[in-house]
Amino acid sequence: MRRPGLGAERLIGLFLIGAIGFSPPVMTLFNKPVLVAGIPLLYLYLFVLWVLLVVLAGLVVLQLVPNGETKPPPPANEEVPRPPDARAEATLSQERGPR
């Protein structure tokens, strides 16, 4: 059983990784006159970090939605709308009388 709030903690962790990874002091480490497959090292670092953050965020969000449903379940403090009950409609129409 998963701990409640684990997805939120993972998303916060991803934010912190991104904030540190895109900070100027860290980017200066990759600002070297080096080409990797014809791409400057800084550009390659920025692109790889961006792709990594997007993929990991997607994985975390997919784990938040249970059983592959298309939308998340309603919050626990909200009441789920129920389909109309045929008996309740019949009772209401009898109370109103003929039209």
**What is residue 47's predicted lDDT score, i.e. its pLDDT?**
94
**What is residue 56's predicted lDDT score, i.e. its pLDDT?**
92
Residue 74 — φ and ψ, nearest 5°? -65, 155
**What is residue 26's predicted lDDT score, i.e. its pLDDT?**
92
**What is residue 16's predicted lDDT score, i.e. its pLDDT?**
94
**What is residue 9's predicted lDDT score, i.e. its pLDDT?**
86
Which segments in the chain show pLDDT lower than 50?
1
Q: What single DSSP character describes residue 82? A: P
**What is residue 7's predicted lDDT score, i.e. its pLDDT?**
78
**What is residue 10's predicted lDDT score, i.e. its pLDDT?**
87
> Cβ distance 21 to 29 under 8 Å?
no
Q: Which residues contact 61 (CB under 8 A, 6 or more apart)?
A: 7, 11
Strands (E), 1-99: 35-36, 39-40
